[in-house]
């Protein structure tokens, strides 16, 4: 049974005993982080988009762990140019890796890095299947109707959705996203890291109602998927 660990903000690790896959490992500068980038041990890193609160420490962790970064082509190329091992996918594309099955899905958001907003392709959501369980991380996105298509075509054991508002869905839209995705479990993220995205996750739990089992994770928490 794969496990999901929360590292604060939108950062997670999925592990199935053999493999450890980080999603958006933003630790340095993440006020919610309970571990440092040097302590993270993974063999793959999946990135939803190029913003610094998602790429985070991915490149240094990938180099130290000899882990493969999986991202859309433009972001994967950037990681490769910076010395990391990277595999490009793009929206709609899936691949069975040694460490699990990864598919990139659409997200409505930007993707760039650095003071000059260096463009890194489009933002994405990701589907990860490991140990027979499928997890969807929506990345940073607004609500969109094709979330229903994602949930219909890929029955979700767990969905991770942003609720912070301002840059992404807020609570009401994230609850509607949960109804469209119809996962067994839903985990809110991307809130309370900074003042701009302050939210009460209990309001999200109430808004989700019986649509899914809502699990509010504290940074450092680990659950079975
Ligand atoms: Ni972003
Ligand atoms: Mn973000």
> Which CATH number is 122's domain given?
3.60.15.10
Strand order in the sheet with 94-97: 94-97, 100-106, 124-130, 133-137, 158-162, 185-189, 213-214
- What residues contact residue 35 under an 8 Å CB cut-off, 6+ apart? 7, 27, 220
Is the residue at 168 inside a domain? no
Residue 1 has pLDDT above 90, yes or no: no
Predicted local distance difference test score (pLDDT) of residue 118: 95
**Inside any domain, residue 178:** no
Between the CA of 123 and the centroid of ligand 1 the distance, in Å, is 8
Helix crossing, 201-208 with 171-181: angle to 10°? 40
Q: Specify if 190 maps to a domain.
A: no
Q: What is the mean pLDDT of the chain?
A: 98
The answer, yes or no, to whether residue 23 has pLDDT greater than 90, is: yes
Burial of 167 (0-12, 13-18, 19+ CB in 10 A): middle
b/e string for 87-100 if b means 16 or more Cβ within 10 A? Answer: bbbebeeeeebebb
Q: From the CA atom positions of the chain, what is the Rg in Å? A: 16
Q: Give domain status of residue 149, yes or no.
A: yes
Query: Interhelix angle for 58-65 vs 73-81, to 10°?
Result: 60
pLDDT confidence of residue 127: 98
Q: How much is the pLDDT for 75?
A: 98
DSSP string of 103-114, one letter each residue:
EEEE-SS--EET
Is 111 part of any domain?
A: yes
Instruction: Tell me the pTM.
Output: 0.98
User: Per the structure, how many domains does the chain have?
Assistant: 1
Q: How far is the CA of 162 from the centre of ligand 2 (A)?
A: 9
In a domain, 75, yes or no: yes
Q: Percent of the chain beyond pLDDT 90?
A: 99
**d(CA 54, ligand 2 centre) in Å:** 6
pLDDT in tens, 171-218: 999 999 999 999 999 999 999 999 999 999 999 999 999 999 999 999
- Per the structure, the complete domain to which residue 74 belongs is given by 3-160
- What pLDDT was estimated at residue 88? 98
Instruction: Report, as an integer, the average pLDDT of 27-47.
Output: 97
User: How much is the pLDDT for 48?
Assistant: 98
Confidence of residue 54 (pLDDT cuts 50, 70, 90): very high
pLDDT for 175: 98
pLDDT of residue 43: 96
Residue 183 lies in a domain: no
- Residue 119 belongs to a domain: yes
Confidence bin at 165 (pLDDT 50/70/90): very high
Could you report the per-residue pLDDT of 109-151, keeping only the tens digit for each? Answer: 999 999 999 999 999 999 999 999 999 999 999 999 999 999 9
Neighbours of ion ligand 2 (CB under 5 A): 53, 140
Running DSSP on this structure, what letter comes out for residue 38?
A: G
Distance 88 CA to ligand 2 centre (A): 21
Strands 124-130 and 118-119, how do they pair? Answer: unpaired
CB 14 within 8 A of CB 40: no
């Amino acid at each position: 049974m794969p496990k999901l660990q929360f590292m604060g903000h939108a950062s997670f690790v999925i592990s199935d005993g053999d493999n450890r896959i980080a999603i958006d490992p933003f630790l340095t500068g993440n006020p919610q982080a309970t571990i440092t980038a040097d302590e993270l041990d993974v063999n793959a890193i999946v990135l939803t988009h190029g913003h610094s609160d998602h790429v985070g420490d991915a490149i240094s962790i990938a180099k130290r762990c000899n882990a493969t970064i999986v991202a859309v082509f433009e972001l994967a190329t950037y990681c490769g140019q910076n010395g990391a091992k990277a595999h490009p996918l793009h929206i709609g594309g899936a691949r069975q890796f040694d460490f699990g099955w990864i598919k990139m899905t659409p997200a409505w958001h930007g993707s760039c890095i650095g003071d000059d907003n260096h463009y890194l392709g489009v933002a994405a959501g990701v589907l990860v299947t490991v140990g027979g369980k499928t997890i969807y991380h929506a990345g940073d996105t607004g609500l969109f109707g094709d979330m229903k298509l994602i949930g219909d075509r890929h029955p979700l054991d767990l969905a991770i959705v942003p609720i912070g508002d301002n840059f992404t869905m807020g609570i009401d839209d994230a609850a509607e996203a949960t109804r469209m995705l119809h996962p067994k479990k839903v985990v809110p993220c991307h809130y309370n890291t900074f003042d701009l995205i302050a939210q009460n996750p209990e309001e999200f739990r109430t808004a989700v109602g019986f649509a899914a089992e809502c699990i509010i994770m504290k940074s450092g928490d680990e659950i079975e998927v």
